């Protein structure tokens, strides 16, 4: 989907948050923000929101000299996710429950919400078992995974991966599972390092898509990733960024995410905060 006018203030806010996280010097913060504003002024509004975010976060990393501004937040997210997982995993006794906790984990998104708020995160996990969700669509996904030889999971945020692992453990059948991460750090998206911290390697083959976009761009991705994408029997995309970049994908992609932005909510007639299980046969 293309970016909307509403994306612009959101990007500027994201950029400011990242600047403040990495830089103490107000003069340098202002210098970086100036570059971000100039770049945003030149944006082609046919780009997807994650393609714009990619450009903004590249500026921040280049200007600050900090390769991974969200490193500490990602560490904290994974640590907290492991703690929560240890408390809830005895209750995850079905594929549906595993899907629910995998979507609960999607709350750990520091593009949308920039400050660490433990209550806000816990609220998501506390409602995981009861929130309204498309159970028929979960049933379809279950059937497809049961038949599949390969399942590709497109990762989203650090921390969330801990619950993606639990989801993969609850896959039916015996498909080979591939877990695709970002090629290099962007916001708090999962990289190889973060996926390994979440112990994904024990349940799936981790591959990089080769890109620093907080979503999935087949045009920009490595050929290894694109081959894997085109060859997978089932593709599961986690998070709103992957939805924004793959919602019109010709291949069927299942999306698991929390609707965090009113642009998407309005466009697809979802409610803000809804937990989505859908696929691109419906959204394209």
Q: Does 272 sit near a copy of itself (CB under 8 A)?
A: no
Mask: binding to a copy of itself, 19-38, rule CB under 8 A, as x and -?
xx-----x--xx--xx--xx
**208 CB burial (10 A radius; 0-12, 13-18, 19+):** middle
Q: How far is the CB of 51 from a copy of itself (least distance, A)?
A: 16
Q: How far is the CB of 37 from a copy of itself (least distance, A)?
A: 4
Q: How far apart are CA 277 and CA 282, in angstroms?
A: 11
Q: How far is the CB of 160 from a copy of itself (least distance, A)?
A: 25
Q: How far is the CB of 192 from a copy of itself (least distance, A)?
A: 32
Q: Which is nearer to a copy of itself, 52 or 228 (by Cβ)?
A: 52
Contacts 24+ apart (CB under 8 A), 2-8: 2/45, 2/46, 2/47, 2/48, 3/43, 3/45, 3/47, 3/48, 3/49, 3/51, 3/52, 4/263, 6/261, 6/262, 6/263, 7/49, 7/52, 7/263, 8/40, 8/43
Q: Does 45 sit near a copy of itself (CB under 8 A)?
A: yes
Pick the closest to residue 50 from 249, 263, 266, 242 (CA basis): 242
Question: Looking at the chain, how many residues does it have?
Answer: 284
Total number of residues binding a copy of itself (CB under 8 A)? Answer: 20
Q: Which is nearer to a copy of itself, 20 or 58 (by Cβ)?
A: 20
Mask: binding to a copy of itself, 1-20, rule CB under 8 A, as x and -?
----xx-xx--xx--x--xx
Q: Does 64 sit near a copy of itself (CB under 8 A)?
A: no
The CA-CA-CA angle for residues 246, 248, 253, to 5°, reads 55
Q: Does 251 sit near a copy of itself (CB under 8 A)?
A: no
Give the footprint of a copy of itself on this chain (CB under 8 A). Answer: 5-6, 8-9, 12-13, 16, 19-20, 26, 29-30, 33-34, 37-38, 40-42, 45
């Amino acid at each position: 989907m293309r970016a909307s006018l509403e994306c612009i203030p959101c990007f500027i806010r994201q950029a400011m948050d990242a600047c403040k996280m990495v830089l103490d010097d107000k003069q340098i913060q202002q210098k970086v923000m100036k570059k971000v504003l100039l770049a945003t002024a030149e944006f082609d509004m046919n780009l997807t929101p994650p393609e714009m975010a990619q450009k903004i976060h590249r500026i921040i990393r280049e200007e600050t000299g900090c390769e991974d501004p969200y490193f500490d937040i990602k560490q904290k997210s994974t640590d907290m996710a492991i703690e929560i997982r240890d408390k809830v995993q005895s209750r995850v006794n079905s594929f549906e429950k595993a899907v629910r906790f995998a979507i609960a984990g999607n709350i750990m998104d520091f593009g949308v919400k920039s400050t660490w708020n433990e209550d806000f995160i816990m609220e998501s996990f506390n409602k995981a078992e009861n929130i309204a969700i498309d159970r028929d669509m979960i049933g379809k996904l279950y059937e497809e995974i049961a038949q599949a030889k390969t399942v590709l999971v497109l990762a989203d945020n650090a921390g969330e991966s801990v619950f993606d692992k639990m989801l993969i453990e609850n896959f039916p059948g015996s498909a080979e599972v591939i877990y695709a991460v970002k090629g290099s750090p962007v916001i708090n998206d999962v990289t190889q390092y973060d996926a390994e911290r979440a112990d994904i390697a024990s349940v799936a083959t981790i591959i990089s898509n080769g890109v620093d976009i907080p979503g999935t761009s087949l045009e920009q991705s490595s050929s290894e990733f694109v081959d894997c994408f085109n060859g997978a029997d089932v593709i599961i995309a986690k998070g709103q960024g992957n939805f924004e970049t793959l919602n019109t994908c010709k291949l069927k992609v299942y999306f698991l995410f929390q609707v965090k932005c009113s642009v998407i909510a309005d466009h697809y007639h979802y409610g803000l905060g809804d937990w989505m299980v859908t696929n691109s046969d419906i959204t394209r």
